[in-house]
């Protein structure tokens, strides 16, 4: 068993152990600690050896015809997302309540473990079938957690909404995967192995027209999963209703699957298909940045604001992908990592506020900085990271994407015009995030809250996420060194 297989197995085994009667919170924390340590080791090995090739490869053939292989491996991109997953999982488990409020809490911690295992499997699978299957494994407990442990009167309706949206997206994506499987399998037999589906350089077996129509369901399917405009309306209500650890894992980690899938599967296997729909993607990503950004400003609850903010920032990652050069792709992956940590941090702090105040409405908050100094400082760091203040990884990723858009551009084209318009999103982000900080922590206290500051046990994950954002912000090559050429490592 390789270290990658062990990392994926740990949360699954712990979920089974909890189901059999083991101490739920204790076992979940043990698994989170173990995977955090192992994830750092994997990342350190990749940093030392380079991310150009696959490491820790394993393959277990389950079927010969068609070829179906349970295989895992990591390179630079999947290694970065693996590290993101184990960090956010550790922090989500650490901030989880000892008594979630429904029975013994077994289902709560089992669900967290399965979400983490599904994300880890999806980011490291080398087989198209299991890449899809692991993502679906992570979605099922997400629906349950929102419907059972969520907040608000509409939590069940929201759980159904996200189920329908992501279910439709997954079905459309499955259709695209089947088309890839049928059209790109080598003449020797059908296979789901991504490396075997990849065409030889300069010898693509499919015409540009065929690639165009196979790429479309992949773009729509992945787009729905990543809340690409106009398929975004499920995300903000789901994150507002979800328990804080689930919002951390889905917004911070699982939503990156759609972006990962475009970079790992859709663009390398169907390059001319991407070019055919690139102009449409530029229009849609502006919808994420500008339209959703303006909607974010109008929000009156913290959780809704953060949910829309998460959707908005997906547009910048799509912009990095659309640059079609190594700087843009590197910036996109760095932003996946930076956004994953920063939005997880914001949802963790948002959950802490909900627990202490029983409200997240801006009009009922104010002046909390005096009674919650640590939480106020931590929220300030998270807000500065989210809006791309220099010194944080979010800033480094945004700068890389903006520079990539103008690399080699002799004149203004569609990509450059889109980037100029997208720059206004930075202003929009600053407006809603700084205004939120002022309404929550500054001014006079509106309500009569008897709330204490963040406890010592909850401060560890908060400090860890802040330090990670600062470390990768001051030294972005920690991440970028592993991403020399994303399309050259299949």
Query: How confident is the model over 432-483, as pLDDT tens digits?
Result: 999 989 888 887 776 666 567 777 778 899 999 999 999 999 999 899 888 8
pLDDT at 101: 64
* Bridge partners for 61 per DSSP: 69
Which 8-state DSSP code applies to residue 200?
A: P
Which 8-state DSSP code applies to residue 57?
A: E
pLDDT at 341: 95
Nearest CA among 130, 62, 53, 120 for reference residue 87: 120
Whole-angstrom distance, CA of residue 251 vs CA of residue 164: 18
pLDDT at 485: 63
Residues 365-393 as b/e (b if ≥16 CB within 10 A, e otherwise) read bbbbbebbeebbebbebbbbbbbbeeebb
Residues of the chain where predicted confidence (pLDDT) is lower than 70: 101-104, 187-188, 202, 409-410, 446-451, 484-490
pLDDT at 446: 64
Entry pTM: 0.93
């Amino acid at each position: 068993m390789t270290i990658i297989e062990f990392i994926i197995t740990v949360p699954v085994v712990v979920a089974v152990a909890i189901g059999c009667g083991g101490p739920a919170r204790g076992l979940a924390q043990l698994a989170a600690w173990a995977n955090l340590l192992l994830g750092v080791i994997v990342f350190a090995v990749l940093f030392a050896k380079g991310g150009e090739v696959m490491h820790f490869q394993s393959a277990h053939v389950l079927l010969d015809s068609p070829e179906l292989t349970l295989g895992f491996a990591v390179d630079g991109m999947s290694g970065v997302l693996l590290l993101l997953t184990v960090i956010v999982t550790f922090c989500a488990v650490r901030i989880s309540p000892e008594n979630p409020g429904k029975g013994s809490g077994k289902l709560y911690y089992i669900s967290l473990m399965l979400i983490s295992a599904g994300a880890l499997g999806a980011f490291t699978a080398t087989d198209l079938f299991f890449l899809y299957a692991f993502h679906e494994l992570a979605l099922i407990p997400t629906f349950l957690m929102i419907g059972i442990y969520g907040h608000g009167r509409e939590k069940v309706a929201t759980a159904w909404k996200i189920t329908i949206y992501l279910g439709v997206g997954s079905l459309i994506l499955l259709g695209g995967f089947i088309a890839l499987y049928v059209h790109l399998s080598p003449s020797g037999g059908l296979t789901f192995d991504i490396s075997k589906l990849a065409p030889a350089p300069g010898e693509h077996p499919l015409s540009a027209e065929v690639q165009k129509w196979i790429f479309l369901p992949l773009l729509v399917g992945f787009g729905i999963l990543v809340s690409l405009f106009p398929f975004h309306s499920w995300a903000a209500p789901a994150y507002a209703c979800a328990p804080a650890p689930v919002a951390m894992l889905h917004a911070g980690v699982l939503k990156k699957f759609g972006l990962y899938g475009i970079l790992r599967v859709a663009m390398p296997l169907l390059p001319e298909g991407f070019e055919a729909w690139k102009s449409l993607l530029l229009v849609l990503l502006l919808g994420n940045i500008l339209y959703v950004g303006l909607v974010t400003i109008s929000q009156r609850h913290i959780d809704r604001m953060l949910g829309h903010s998460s959707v908005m920032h997906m547009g910048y990652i799509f912009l990095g992908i659309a640059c079609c050069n190594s700087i843009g792709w590197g910036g996109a992956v760095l932003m996946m990592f930076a956004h994953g940590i920063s939005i997880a941090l914001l949802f963790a702090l948002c959950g802490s506020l909900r627990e202490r105040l029983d409200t997240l409405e801006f009009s009922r908050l104010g002046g909390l900085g005096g009674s919650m100094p640590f939480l106020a400082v931590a929220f300030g760091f998270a807000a500065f990271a989210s809006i791309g203040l220099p010194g944080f990884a979010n800033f480094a990723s945004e700068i890389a994407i903006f520079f990539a858009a103008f690399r080699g551009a002799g004149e203004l084209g569609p990509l450059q015009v889109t980037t100029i318009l997208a720059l206004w999103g930075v202003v929009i982000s600053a407006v809603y995030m700084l205004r939120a900080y002022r309404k929550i922590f500054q001014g006079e206290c509106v309500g009569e809250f008897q709330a204490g500051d963040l406890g010592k046990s909850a401060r560890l994950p908060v400090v860890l996420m802040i330090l990670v954002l600062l470390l990768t912000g001051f030294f972005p090559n920690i991440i970028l060194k592993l991403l020399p050429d994303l399309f050259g490592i299949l």
